[in-house]
Amino acid sequence: MPTVLLVRHGHSSANGEGILAGRLPGIHLTDRGREQADHLADRFRGLPVVRVVSSPLERCLETAAPLVAALGVEVTVDDDLQECAYGAWTGRPLGELAKEPLWATVQDDPETARFPDDDRYAAESLRAMSDRVVAAVRRHDAEVKESSGDSALWVAVTHGDLLKAVLADATGSGLGRFQRYTADPASVSVVRFGGRHTFLLTANDVTPDLTRFQPKPEAHVAGDATVGGGAG
């Protein structure tokens, strides 16, 4: 079972301005975000990562660029990793959106939350967002396993809500509880999918020692949990 390192893009101009960027074009990393991406690249350097997949939006591609340079691989762009389609909420201040009735639904009952339609921007439900990103991550994971084996490492660079949805699926808590997860800019979360179990190795780690996620050659990498706990 391969290991996927889930990376949220670095600090963006929308993060700095407090707006919901969604799929707006032209949202780039700030100076802080570029520093975060470079710092991540230093931590990834030397890892035997076989695939890096990214959202097509600029802030994710700019985060992925130093990673792939450090790793010596090319980035694969996958539209299924792009930001949630927030419809009429796109580009609006978060403080303003927090006053709308839908905000409470997004917080308390995300299973039923759908963003309002808009003539300019696509809209989808949180359920549709979750289904597409979980399916995409699991598809890439299966392809990596087929091509590179159970001990392979690969990277997905995506957005906060999508990353939280993957973590909620991986831990079995489901979309209804996905707001309990946190995904800060430039954080790394690590998941290992198995036949019987899915293992959450870390979440929202902003200073990760990534070398510890590379399976040791002698490690037991089947889909079962180690009875008594792992040996580290």
Assess if residue 197 is contained within a domain: yes
Residue 1 has pLDDT above 90, yes or no: no
Residue 215 confidence class, pLDDT cut points 50, 70, 90: low
- Give me the pLDDT at residue 162, please: 98
Query: By the 8 A CB rule, do 192 and 2 touch?
Result: yes
- Give me the pLDDT at residue 174, please: 94
pLDDT, tens digit (0-9, with 9 covering 90-100), for 131-155: 999 999 999 999 999 999 988 999 9
Integer Cα distance of 14 and 30 in angstroms = 9
What value does the mean pLDDT take over residues 92-118?
A: 96
Assess if residue 116 is contained within a domain: no
Sole residue written with tokens 């989808």: 124
Residue 224 has pLDDT above 80, yes or no: no
Residue 223 confidence class, pLDDT cut points 50, 70, 90: low
**Exposed e or buried b per residue across 23-41, where buried means at least 16 C-beta atoms within 10 angstroms of its C-beta:** bbeebebbeebbebbbebb
Q: Which two tokens stand for residue 80?
A: 């299924």
Q: Which two tokens stand for residue 52?
A: 């890096």
Residue 117 confidence class, pLDDT cut points 50, 70, 90: very high
Assess if residue 92 is contained within a domain: no
- Give me the pLDDT at residue 222, please: 52
Local structure of 84: helix, strand or coil: coil
The pTM of this model reads 0.92
What value does the mean pLDDT take over residues 61-75?
A: 97
DSSP letter string over 128-182?
HHHHHHHHHHHHHHHHHHHHH-TT-EEEEEE-HHHHHHHHHHHHT--GGGGGG--
Assess if residue 96 is contained within a domain: no
Assess if residue 167 is contained within a domain: yes
Residue 229 has pLDDT above 60, yes or no: no
* Bridge-based pairing state of the strands 49-54 and 153-158: parallel
Assess if residue 95 is contained within a domain: no
What proportion of the chain, given as a percentage, has pLDDT over 90? 84
Would you mind telling me the total number of residues written for the chain in this entry? 232
What value does the mean pLDDT take over residues 118-133?
A: 97
Helix and strand numbers (H, E) in the chain are 7, 6
Residue 210 confidence class, pLDDT cut points 50, 70, 90: confident
Assess if residue 53 is contained within a domain: yes
pLDDT, tens digit (0-9, with 9 covering 90-100), for 161-203: 999 999 999 999 999 999 999 999 999 999 998 777 899 999 9
Domain ranges, residue 153: 3-83+125-213
Assess if residue 138 is contained within a domain: yes
Residue 150, Cβ neighbours under 10 Å: how many?
Answer: 16
CATH of the domain at 72: 3.40.50.1240
Integer Cα distance of 72 and 62 in angstroms = 16
Question: Which residues are CB-neighbours of 35 under 8 A, at least 6 positions away?
Answer: 10
Q: How many domains does the chain have?
A: 1
Residue 206, Cβ neighbours under 10 Å: how many?
Answer: 13
> What is the dihedral angle through the alpha carbons of 81, 56, 39, 21, rounded to the nearest 10 degrees?
-80
